[in-house]
Amino acid sequence: MSHQLTDNPIIKNLIGFSRHHCTQTLTSQGVDSIEFGHWLAIPSQRLLLVFRHQQCVAIDSYQVAA
């Protein structure tokens, strides 16, 4: 996992919450996100929130493809 997770406590604390709650929390903090499939991408942080049954179960980093 990326060091960025510890840099942003708002994102770090989204584990266990619903997709709707996570989206609203990010929006209220001015953080853009993109919903697709079982993920919620946060491009500015290069993070993916992973959902199972609409509940955030993991946060993972990703790299931008060349």
Residue in the structure block whose two tokens are 């993920």: 39
- Per-residue model confidence (pLDDT) at position 1: 45
> CB of 25 within 8 A of CB of 10?
yes
Residue in the structure block whose two tokens are 């929130």: 49
- Per-residue model confidence (pLDDT) at position 66: 64
- Per-residue model confidence (pLDDT) at position 3: 47
pTM of the predicted protein model: 0.81
Residues of 41-57 as b/e, b for ≥16 C-beta within 10 angstroms?
Answer: bbeebebbbebeeeebe
pLDDT in tens, the chain (66 residues): 444 554 678 888 999 999 999 999 999 999 999 999 899 999 999 999 999 998 999 999 988 776
Total Cβ atoms within 10 A of residue 26? 20
Cα(36)–Cα(33) distance, rounded to whole angstroms?
A: 10
- Per-residue model confidence (pLDDT) at position 5: 52
